[in-house]
Structure 1
């Protein structure tokens, strides 16, 4: 079983003081008696969340480029890209749907994980040929029971798009673009482009990128924005592109992801109600857990300063109430404490009950470590079928 709350916090003797600053009910919590009507609460709470995420103004700067079209695994696949105004490489994306599909289909924006692996983005949850990189194969075995889950949900009759997001894959920070002071202990800038797919070089890059997270996040704070704000802005542009496709029914769009993808689902699903149905996998707990017990396991992609005074973390996803929402947790998940996962589940249950939509929320707990395995995928995809197809 997962460990319950440790006796000591990560803040040492300051832990009790810090935890007391987080009220049981934030001032924008729907669980407050202040808010009786969900339609009165949502605009105010959403505005407050967006204020502290400090979304930057990011624009798509030119049309989508279609690089390649082909069939694989019973799916029609497109490789596309689009440039953004905030720098970095063009966003690369994969779009897939059943090969014989006709007309418009419901769609899923599949959000790749973090996994301490910034060299890869979308490639972690797709398979477009028999030739998988050994690190991708290993990643999918550990976290997805060997499955490329974006392919699996596409086969059910969806248009699925997977894109690289800020600091991952085609959007990663390239060593040759950063100040020499950050590369003193690394040889990354010395490798040719042909060598970059070598597992040892990728592993070195991922270690460097992990060490670089705090620098990147502090720099974003100084620019007046936040890491989750940048990611949300980029995810919303991807959602725009998916909604505008002629083969997509924009009234039936879901999103899902494991871990960092589950985190992205919390922010995108909670704050953009074009997402008709959301499934957050392996990323649901409380601010107390993130602050006192598990901060060392989490990415800077999580943090929006001051927001915990107003909303508990699960209530960010709860901003989508009464839209259908599933949260999948693993009982032995090493990234969270079990009691705080259960607390988060109770909070979302209460939010949906108060909004008179208890059937629209499903919180599930599974045996095992941090993962989105085959059984969990079936439950998630059945949830999509129920609410996006009416099955």
Structure 2
């Protein structure tokens, strides 16, 4: 890479903030020759990130199946289980009602990179308009399969859909580096579109067009920043640091409103799915979704709950609640957690709600956001559910060397998986 990681963290405001939320750097001891050395003192046996309380907290659910897991013998029937488990997840998420299909405005359309692109926006009942990018092969005819591509978190709320797209030769330098760092320099939404898909990428709640604007919060909360300060990389870095510190405020406020952050994500992602499926150029019976990190988190809930997602690819976000509890909650965003749900479904059980629909999980074996044993355990949970559902060939989990990423080799497997199940 042209710049080392430390410089990148500095200019983007990621220092002290995880790629999935907050607090990744304490997991590393030092940098040497631009290589990050994992701190082997983290996750020591008999230790936890909450000290002596870890063993007690883990014992509350240890060695017993969550009550709504299909792995339990009390759930012999797949469809009865799915309905009961989904109803329970929906209740826990407290998904807000955000109205019907919004009016979609095409702000701009053009051809670039062999693709036809549309810059879209729609107004939800709250906040500023959601902005999105739609991509499909130039001169495409008829209905094509669709992909809802879900962008990552990466501790960068200033940007959203541009993290995984490229719409001109004048790419923002931070987005150029972002794609080099996480995606082998590839705008993966562009590349999957070129294979014959209509791809929609929308800004997620609290990102980019949906981010919390400084002008809209009390001045005492702004840390001296204004929205006008965000015109350069240093300003964007300052905003991202501010937005990371603001996450706990947003999460607690959503709890006070009687909802959850994953519930809001699901409501808004489902609205984007409504828009994609309603298009005349999309075959609504052949739609998939996927994404890295925060996009993987959103994939778990959207693909787990909405049967319109016929094929799912979850990248860099699959482990267990135990892993978060004892080892890694500090590396993850407030956007991850749903109160009480761990009593009823382990984290991989949520994604298993879609069985027997095709599901691919892609892990990085050295991913600093999870422990490998718990990634392995999550794989076992999903494999067991798919086996019980009689669909062993529709679940696959692969591991790739390296840290948290969705590189070119992983993309190749993901794209082939979409082709296998959506182009039939």
The TM-score normalised by the length of structure 2 is 0.89
Kindly report which structure 2 residues correspond to 1:194-209, keeping only aligned pairs within 5 A, or say none.
196-209=230-243
Q: Which residue of 2 aligns with 1:218?
A: 252
1:37 CA drift (Å): 1.5
Greater Cα shift, 228-237 or 58-67? 58-67
Q: Which residue of 1 aligns with 2:44?
A: 6
Distance 2:122 2:157 in 1: 19
Q: Which residue of 2 aligns with 1:312?
A: 346
* Paired residues, number: 384
Distance 1:108 1:21 in 2: 39
SS of equivalent to 1:294: helix
**CA, structure 1 residues 157+61, in 2 after alignment: closer, same or farther (shift >3 Å)?**
closer
Distance 1:197 1:108 in 2: 32
Q: Which residue of 2 aligns with 1:356?
A: 390
1:60 CA drift (Å): 5.3
1:61 CA drift (Å): 7.7
1:44 to 80, 84, 96: 84
1:197 CA drift (Å): 3.4
Q: CA RMSD in A?
A: 1.3
Distance 2:54 2:221 in 1: 32
1:108 CA drift (Å): 0.2
2:141 to 95, 98, 102: 102
Kindly report which structure 2 residues correspond to 1:47-196, keeping only aligned pairs within 5 A, or say none.
47-59=87-99, 62-85=102-125, 87-183=126-222, 186-189=223-226, 192=228, 196=230
SS of equivalent to 1:229: helix
Greater Cα shift, 51-60 or 27-36? 51-60
1:258, 1:371 within 8 Å by CA — same for their partners in 2? yes
1:301 to 299, 314, 335: 335
1:6, 1:293 within 8 Å by CA — same for their partners in 2? no
2:101, 2:274 within 8 Å by CA — same for their partners in 1? no
Runs of 4 or more above 2 Å deviation: 1-7, 59-62
2:157, 2:206 within 8 Å by CA — same for their partners in 1? yes
1:140, 1:147 within 8 Å by CA — same for their partners in 2? yes
Distance 1:73 1:310 in 2: 46
Distance 1:5 1:327 in 2: 24
2:158, 2:240 within 8 Å by CA — same for their partners in 1? yes
For the pair 1:368 / 2:382, whether they are aligned, the reply is no
SS of equivalent to 1:365: strand
2:54 to 2, 9, 15: 15
Kindly report which structure 2 residues correspond to 1:185-334, keeping only aligned pairs within 5 A, or say none.
186-189=223-226, 192=228, 196-334=230-368
Distance 2:372 2:240 in 1: 29
SS of equivalent to 1:236: helix
Distance 1:62 1:124 in 2: 24
Q: Could you list the runs of 5+ residues in structure 1 that have no partner in the other structure?
A: none
